[in-house]
Amino acid sequence: MSRFAAPIAEQIWDMKYRLKQANGTPIDQSVEDTWRRIARALAAVEKDPDQWEDRFFHALEDFKFLPAGRITAGAGTARSVTLFNCFVMGTIPDSMGGIFDMLREAALTMQQGGGIGYDFSTIRPKGAPVTGVAADASGPLSFMDVWDAMCRTIMSAGSRRGAMMATMRCDHPDIEEFITAKQDAARLRMFNLSVLVTDAFMQAVADDSAWNLQFDGRVYHTVQARDLWNRIMRATYDYAEPGVIFIDRINKANNLRYCETIAATNPCGEQPLPPYGACLLGSLNLARLVRDPFSTTARLDEAQLDDLVRMAVRMMDNVVDASRFPLDAQAQEAHAKRRIGLGVTGLADALLMVGLRYGSDAAVAQLDAWMRAIARAAYLASVDLAREKGAFPLFDADGFLASANMLAMDDDVRAEIRTHGIRNALLTSIAPTGTISLYAGNVSSGIEPVFAYEYTRKVLQKDGSRTEETVEDYAVRLWRELHGDAELPEYFVNAQTLDPMDHVRMQAAAQKWVDSSISKTINCPEDISFDAFKDVYMVAWEMGCKGCTTYRPNDVTGAVLSVPEKSEATPEADKGADVVYLSTPFDRPAALEGHTYKLKWPGSEHAIYVTINDTVINGHRRPFEIFINSKNMEHFAWTVALTRMISAVFRRGGDVSFVVEELKAVFDPRGGAWVQGRYIPSILAAIGGVIEEHLIRIGFIEGEGLGLKTDPQAARMVAGDTPKGHACPSCGAYEMVMIEGCMTCRACGHSKCG
C-alpha cells in the first residue's frame, strides 16, 4: 500500500493538515513534510533535538502514531494556536459578575480552537432568591442560553466550529429542566448535555427510594429516584440526550483525587477534567501494527507496539512544553500535572485482521490484553521520563498510588512509580478519531466497530464537476487485495448489526486500562424496547464504565440510513413529497403568491418589512424570493445584499431551511433586544425568525427549530450494504452519521463536536 492508502486520505491531508501559505500555496509538499514538521517541532524542546526528530518522524511514518488534529495541523507552523484539544473551564461562581467573567474566558478559549466543558451545577436554581436585588434567580439554563449564543458568535466569525459540554448534578433542583432542555430543537444547539450521576443516586434508583433535589444545603424538591432515572432514560431514548456520566466513579479512579475534584468533561466525554484542566490527544493506529493479516499466523506486533507507545508518550509530553494556551490558568494547570491522553484507533480493523468478531468473548479478551500492554508501556515510559526530566510538579506517591486506578495496576509498575515518580499524572484516553482515521486510510474509528464496509462519496473537481469514488474500510480493502472477490468471512460485522451489549462489553474491557475515559457510541436499533434500552445503561454501570452514550435512530434524532442524493437538473418531485430538489435555478413565474411581515426592532425609528414570495410545484409551496426593505438608510447596503443572496439560495431549491439557522445564530456584539418576551441576539436573527415563521406557515418545515416537513432524502432504507447519512454542512455529502458520540461526516471529517 502507498503512503496514502486511499484517495480520501490524501484529500483529508490536503484539506485539514497540510501547511499552506495564506494564498493557498502548499508549504508541505508531501505528507513526509508534514511528519517532519511535527517531529521537528516536538523535538525542539529536547536537549538533543536532531536525535529525537528522526525517532519522532519514524513513529509518525506510515500513520502508525496519529497525533490529534490540532497537533498535526498546528505543530511547527508558528501560528498562534493551541495544540491541546480539551479544556474544562473554571468553576462558575454563583454571581452575575463571575458568570460573565467565565463567559469571556470561554470565548477566548474557543477562539483558539479549544472545545470546552462546564459544570452548571454551581449556579443557584430558578426561583431562588437573589440577595439585595429583590428578585428571583433565572437559573442555570438561562445562562446556558447565553453560552450557546456566544458559541454561535464565535462560529459565525469564522473560527473552528464550536463544541461545548454542559453537565449538571443529578441532585440539582433544575435537573428536570436540564434533562428536557434540548427537546426544544432550537435551543442549546452548541451544547452536548450530560447528567452527573452519583453512586448514592444509583443506589436510590435500585432501592426505589426518595431523592432530594437541593442547592447550598436547602432541599427544593423531593422526587422518587427511579422516576428521575426514567426521565433521563426516556429523554435519551427519544432525543439521544442527555448522556450519563458516573461522576463518583471518575473521581475515585482519578490518579489525582488527592489534589483535584472533577465535575465536568470535554465535549465528547473522554476527558474528565478539573477546573482549567487541559489535555492533548493522540492515537496508536493498531491496524498498522498487525503482521500477516487474515492468516493463521496473524498477530499484533507487541514489540513494535511497546516501542511506539514509549515514543508517543515522549512526543505528547513535549507538546505540553511546545503548545500555547488561551489562558494562563490553563497553562499552569497543564504544566503542574502534565496530563496526556494516548488512545487507539483502528481497533475493529485490527480485530478483523486477526480473525476476531467485534464484541465476541475472544475479542473482549484480546482488547483487554492489548489495552493492558498499552497501559503498562505508557506508565513505564512516563516513569523513565521522570528519571530523566523529573516527575510532574504535584506528584505525591502515597496519594497517587491510592487511587482506584492505580490500585488495579500491576505491582511492578506501582513499585517503579513509588521509587522514581512519574512524569505524567494521567496517560490514557480513547478520543474520537473520525478525521484522523480517514487521514490514515479510513481505518475504523477509535474502539468503534466498522461503521460501513464501503460507501460512495461525491468529490468536487477543479472544473466544478463532481465525480464519485468508493471509500472502503481499511481492513475490507486489505482483504480484497489479498483474496480478491472472495466473500467476507462471517466475523466481519458492523455497527448496524451488533447487539448493544456487544458495544458495552468492549467499552468496559477498554475502560479497565484507561485512566481517563472513552468516547464511544452504543448503537441501538430503532425498535429496541424502552426497558431493554434502560438495561444498556444499567449494564454499563455494573461493568465499570465511566459514562454511557447511545444513539437510537428515530423520527426525532434522525435516521442513520437514507437514500442517495438525487441529481435531476429539472424541477421534479417524488410522489407525495413536499420538497423539490434542484441542481440549477429555474426561471421566475410571471406571478407569485407571498406574504409581507413587519419587523419592529426596539430602538430603531423605522420598521423593516420582509416580503417572501413562493412558487408552487406539484401542488406544494416553497420559498422562491425575498425582499427586505427599510426607510433607515443605514440598513440599505446589507438589506440589499441579504435580499440578493437569500433569493439566490431559494431559487436553487432543496432544503433551504438552513438559512433560518444561520441567521438566527448571528449575535450582535452591541447587544440584542427583547421582542415579544423573547431575547433576540440581533436584527439578522430577527429576520431569520420571520423567515422561519413563513416556512412554517406554508408547510415547508414542521415547526420552530424543526426541519423539513417531509424530506424524501431522509427516508430510511438500506441501499445494498451502504448506509447513507444526512447532508454534511461542510462538504454537502450525505454522510453525516453518529460516531463516538458526535454527528460526523465520513466524507470530509466534519464533526458537530469541533
**CATH number, position 178:** 3.20.70.20
The answer on 239 and 111 residing in a single domain is yes
The sign of the dihedral angle between the CA atoms of 437, 438, 441, 445 is positive
Q: How far is the CA of 24 from the CAs of 10, 18, 311, 380, 743, in angstroms?
A: 16, 10, 33, 43, 29
Give the residue from 293, 292, 678 showing the smallest Cα distance to 475: 293
Is 58 within the bounds of a domain?
yes
Is it the case that residue 570 has pLDDT exceeding 50? no
Q: What mean pLDDT comes out for the span 340-354?
A: 98
Is it the case that residue 272 has pLDDT exceeding 80? yes
The answer on 495 and 368 residing in a single domain is yes
Is 721 within the bounds of a domain?
no
Is 750 within the bounds of a domain?
no
Of 207, 232, 264, the last residue of a domain is 264
**Kind of pairing between the strands at 454-460 and 466-472:** antiparallel
The number of residues making up the chain comes to: 754
The answer on 465 and 411 residing in a single domain is yes
Instruction: Kindly indicate the confidence band of residue 376, based on its pLDDT and cuts at 50, 70 and 90.
Output: very high
CA–CA dist 272, 266 (Å, integer): 7
Is it the case that residue 171 has pLDDT exceeding 60? yes
Residue with the bigger pLDDT between 318 and 671: it is: 318
Q: Please give the pLDDT value at position 529.
A: 96
Q: Cα 733 from chain centroid?
A: 18
Q: Please give the pLDDT value at position 618.
A: 58
Domain that holds residue 119: 90-264
The answer on 95 and 80 residing in a single domain is no
Give the residue from 3, 4, 5 showing the smallest Cα distance to 478: 5
Total Cβ atoms within 10 A of residue 223: 17
Which residue in this structure is represented by grid cell 436540564? 178
CA–CA dist 720, 713 (Å, integer): 16
Residues labelled catalytic: 266, 268, 270
The answer on 498 and 356 residing in a single domain is yes
At 541, list the grid cell: 454501570
Burial pattern 544-578, b for ≥16 Cβ within 10 A else e, equals: ebbbbbbbbbeeebbbbbbbebeeeeeeebbeebb
Q: What mean pLDDT comes out for the span 180-200?
A: 91
Q: Please give the pLDDT value at position 355.
A: 97
Q: What mean pLDDT comes out for the span 523-527?
A: 91
Is 658 within the bounds of a domain?
yes
Strand partners, 623: 614
Is 738 within the bounds of a domain?
no
Q: What are phi and psi of 302, to 5 degrees?
A: -70, -30
285-289, 307-311, 651-655: least confidently modelled range: 651-655
Residue with the bigger pLDDT between 106 and 589: it is: 106
Q: Please give the pLDDT value at position 370.
A: 98
CA–CA dist 658, 651 (Å, integer): 14
pTM of the complete model: 0.80
Alpha helices in 193-224 (DSSP H): 199-207
Is it the case that residue 449 has pLDDT exceeding 80? yes
Under 8 Å between Cβ of 121 and 265: no
117's enclosing H/E stretch is: strand 115-119
Q: Please give the pLDDT value at position 713.
A: 35
Q: Strand locations in 434-587, DSSP E?
A: 454-460, 466-472, 522-523, 547-548, 550-551
Q: 541-558 pLDDT, tens per residue?
A: 999 999 999 999 876 665
Q: Please give the pLDDT value at position 371.
A: 98
252-256, 347-351, 735-739: least confidently modelled range: 735-739
Is it the case that residue 720 has pLDDT exceeding 50? no
Instruction: Kindly indicate the confidence band of residue 52, based on its pLDDT and cuts at 50, 70 and 90.
Output: very high
Of 497, 519, 541, the last residue of a domain is 519
Q: What mean pLDDT comes out for the span 186-192?
A: 87
Q: Please give the pLDDT value at position 159.
A: 44
Cis peptide before 242 (omega within 30 of 0): yes
Q: How far is the CA of 271 from the CAs of 29, 86, 716, 739, in angstroms?
A: 34, 7, 34, 17
Instruction: Kindly indicate the confidence band of residue 111, based on its pLDDT and cuts at 50, 70 and 90.
Output: confident
Is 730 within the bounds of a domain?
no
- Check residue 272 and report its DSSP letter: E
The answer on 241 and 99 residing in a single domain is yes
Is 171 within the bounds of a domain?
yes
Strand partners, 245: 196, 547
CA–CA dist 379, 729 (Å, integer): 41
Domain count within the chain: 3
The answer on 496 and 622 residing in a single domain is no
Strand partners, 130: 135
Is it the case that residue 583 has pLDDT exceeding 50? no
Strand partners, 169: 196
The winner for highest mean pLDDT among 19-33, 624-638, 658-672 is 19-33
Give the residue from 311, 281, 267 showing the smallest Cα distance to 436: 281
Total Cβ atoms within 10 A of residue 456: 18
Q: Please give the pLDDT value at position 181.
A: 94
Q: Please give the pLDDT value at position 563.
A: 30
Instruction: Kindly indicate the confidence band of residue 655, based on its pLDDT and cuts at 50, 70 and 90.
Output: confident
Is 566 within the bounds of a domain?
no
CA–CA dist 294, 301 (Å, integer): 14
The answer on 111 and 49 residing in a single domain is no
Reduce the DSSP state of residue 671 to 3 states and report it: coil
Q: What mean pLDDT comes out for the span 281-286?
A: 97
Q: Cα 106 from chain centroid?
A: 17
Q: 304-345 pLDDT, tens per residue?
A: 999 999 999 999 999 999 999 989 999 999 999 999 999 999
CA–CA dist 440, 16 (Å, integer): 13
Give the residue from 267, 322, 291 showing the smallest Cα distance to 67: 322
Is it the case that residue 233 has pLDDT exceeding 60? yes
The answer on 174 and 288 residing in a single domain is no
Instruction: Kindly indicate the confidence band of residue 180, based on its pLDDT and cuts at 50, 70 and 90.
Output: very high
CA–CA dist 228, 146 (Å, integer): 27
Q: What are phi and psi of 547, to 5 degrees?
A: -170, 175
Is it the case that residue 154 has pLDDT exceeding 70? yes
The answer on 707 and 599 residing in a single domain is yes
Under 8 Å between Cβ of 557 and 551: yes
Strand partners, 20: 26
Is it the case that residue 266 has pLDDT exceeding 70? yes
Q: 384-394 pLDDT, tens per residue?
A: 999 999 999 99
Under 8 Å between Cβ of 330 and 266: no
Under 8 Å between Cβ of 107 and 100: no
Of 500, 519, 538, the last residue of a domain is 519
The answer on 436 and 318 residing in a single domain is yes
Q: What mean pLDDT comes out for the span 166-180?
A: 97
Is it the case that residue 709 has pLDDT exceeding 60? no
The answer on 252 and 147 residing in a single domain is yes
Instruction: Kindly indicate the confidence band of residue 700, based on its pLDDT and cuts at 50, 70 and 90.
Output: confident
Amino acid type, 228: L
Instruction: Kindly indicate the confidence band of residue 414, based on its pLDDT and cuts at 50, 70 and 90.
Output: very high
Residue with the bigger pLDDT between 702 and 332: it is: 332
Q: Please give the pLDDT value at position 464.
A: 56
